[in-house]
């Protein structure tokens, strides 16, 4: 079976800002050549590490996750020989993904007029903040995400930042999309440069917070386990009988689904007054949402999280249980879609990795190979490209 982007060669200059974009390309089958500095990519020094290998740059689980299927070569673009070597690589590349301008990289990229260059920077390459430093955490603060994440049922709690490199994922995803869009224009326009600002990627993805302020002048506030909103909303996160939690945000519930839920609750003698016809009127449903949440919470407390999740979904309700990360390893739905992949580590062992973030009809998606060791493909690449 073919791989969707197997016709593309992507050169990625190693950086925390580029690795998610590079991974999206490699998952889709593109050849991704990871150019690392002499000491290795910065993220090789990020934990967690494989048990018993703390501090080992070849055992960073962070690096393993983001760099499957890539080829590693060590180059110093700002040195004369490194700049020439990079130019040779880029002469046969379709895409360059980098994290900032340098004269050597600019010169090497400019030599290939068909090259699509995507530069991901903290604040863009122009503007008063262009030279500012940032991290994933500070981007989530400056971009607005932290202000709408947190709790409203605990006093004096600060804004919270989602973990997992969310800011870099947003920017990396936009960089991938931008590169593909620019590649589509190649026959008529040739190559070109696309600039992606992490700050702008975050600012554009604050859900309803920015439109509410822009159009109404009102500021949304954070809610525990649900969307930020202009006014208070009932708690839709309830604890089940097994101690786990479910999200049961009953918004825009179709009448048949609501009737099925009430009948289910009534069969257990727990519907209370929800059998009243007034709750079937959309306007009154919203008006009495706090009461509905209260009664529903008592019903959920008699079921395990899985019982309620599957029972409610079978009745057409949009609900979920709240999984622990370890629950995902045994998730039947992920297993059916082959989300987990065993990858040969080259030392007689295999490790389980998460698969591609997308599936393609009639095309394979990765991962296929483990993340590379530092300069693992350097000699082969030098021979292939004729680099001295």
pLDDT tens string, the chain, 388 residues long: the values are 789 999 999 999 999 999 999 999 999 999 999 999 999 999 999 999 999 999 999 999 999 999 999 999 999 888 778 889 999 999 999 999 999 878 999 999 999 999 999 999 999 999 999 999 999 999 999 999 999 999 988 888 899 998 889 999 999 999 999 999 999 887 766 788 999 999 999 998 888 888 899 999 999 999 888 888 898 889 999 999 999 999 998 877 888 999 999 999 999 999 999 999 998 888 888 889 999 999 999 999 999 999 999 999 999 999 999 999 899 999 999 999 999 999 999 999 999 999 988 888 888 889 999 999 999 999 999 999 998 7
The region that residue 100 occupies, defined by phi over 0 for left and psi between -120 and 50 for alpha, beta otherwise, is: left
The reported pLDDT for the residue numbered 162 is: 86
The reported pLDDT for the residue numbered 188 is: 66
Q: Are strands 245-247 and 320-321 parallel, antiparallel or unpaired?
A: antiparallel
CA 185-187-190 angle, to 5 degrees, is 70
Q: How far apart are CA 107 and CA 97, in angstroms?
A: 15
10 Å CB burial of residue 57 (0-12, 13-18, 19+) is middle
What CA–CA distances, in Å, run from 250 to 9, 33, 53? 47, 47, 47
The answer to whether the CB of 98 falls within 8 A of the CB of 117 is yes
State the alpha helices, DSSP H only, in 111-246: 136-142, 166-184, 186-189, 198-203, 209-216
The answer to whether the CB of 123 falls within 8 A of the CB of 197 is yes
Q: How far apart are CA 167 and CA 47, in angstroms?
A: 18
Of 3.40.50.10540, 1.25.40.80, 3.40.50.720, 3.20.20.70, which CATH number belongs to 9-205+338-385? 3.40.50.10540
- Structure tokens that stand for 310 in this block: 């599957």
Q: Are strands 95-98 and 340-344 parallel, antiparallel or unpaired?
A: unpaired
The reported pLDDT for the residue numbered 189 is: 66
Q: How far apart are CA 216 and CA 229, in angstroms?
A: 13
Nearest Cα neighbor of 318 from 261, 278, 245 is 261
Look up tokens 């059998």; give the residue.
275
Instruction: Print burial letters for 89-101: b (CB count within 10 Å at least 16), e (below 16).
Output: bbeebbbbbbbee
**Residues 6 or more apart from 296 whose CB is under 8 A from it?**
238, 248, 250, 265
- Structure tokens that stand for 254 in this block: 């179709």
């Amino acid at each position: 079976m073919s791989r969707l982007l197997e016709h593309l060669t992507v050169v990625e200059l190693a950086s925390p800002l580029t690795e998610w974009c590079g991974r999206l390309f490699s998952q889709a089958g593109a050849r991704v050549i990871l150019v690392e500095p002499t000491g290795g990519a910065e993220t090789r020094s990020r934990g967690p590490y494989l048990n018993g290998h703390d501090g080992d740059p070849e055992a960073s689980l962070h690096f393993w996750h983001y760099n499957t299927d890539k080829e590693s070569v060590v180059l110093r673009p700002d040195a004369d020989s490194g700049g020439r070597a990079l130019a040779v690589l880029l002469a046969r590349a379709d895409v360059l993904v980098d994290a900032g301008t340098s004269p050597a990289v600019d010169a090497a990229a400019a030599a290939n007029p068909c090259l699509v260059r995507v530069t991901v920077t903290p604040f863009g390459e122009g503007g008063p903040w262009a030279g500012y430093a940032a991290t994933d955490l500070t981007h989530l603060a400056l971009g607005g995400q932290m202000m709408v994440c947190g709790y409203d049922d605990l006093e004096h709690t600060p804004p919270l930042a989602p973990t997992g490199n969310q800011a870099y994922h947003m920017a990396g995803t936009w960089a991938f999309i931008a590169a593909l869009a620019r590649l589509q224009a190649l026959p008529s326009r040739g190559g070109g440069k696309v600039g992606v600002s992490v700050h702008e990627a975050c600012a554009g993805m604050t859900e309803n917070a920015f439109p509410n302020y822009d159009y109404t002048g009102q500021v949304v506030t954070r809610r525990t386990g649900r969307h930020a909103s202009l006014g208070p909303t009932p708690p839709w996160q309830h604890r089940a009988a097994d101690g786990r939690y479910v999200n049961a945000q009953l918004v825009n519930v179709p009448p048949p689904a609501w009737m099925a839920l009430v009948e289910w609750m009534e069969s257990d003698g727990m519907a209370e007054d929800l059998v009243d016809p007034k709750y079937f009127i959309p306007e009154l449903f919203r008006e009495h949402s706090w009461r509905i949440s209260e009664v529903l919470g008592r019903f959920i407390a008699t079921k395990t999280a899985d019982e309620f999740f599957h029972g409610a979904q079978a009745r057409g309700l949009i609900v979920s249980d709240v999984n622990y990360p370890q629950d995902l390893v045994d998730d039947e739905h992920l297993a059916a879609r082959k989300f987990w992949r065993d990858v040969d580590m080259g030392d007689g062992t295999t490790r389980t990795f998460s698969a591609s973030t997308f599936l393609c009809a009639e095309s394979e998606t990765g991962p296929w190979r483990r993340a590379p060791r530092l300069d693992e493909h350097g000699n082969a690449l030098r021979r292939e490209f004729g680099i001295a």
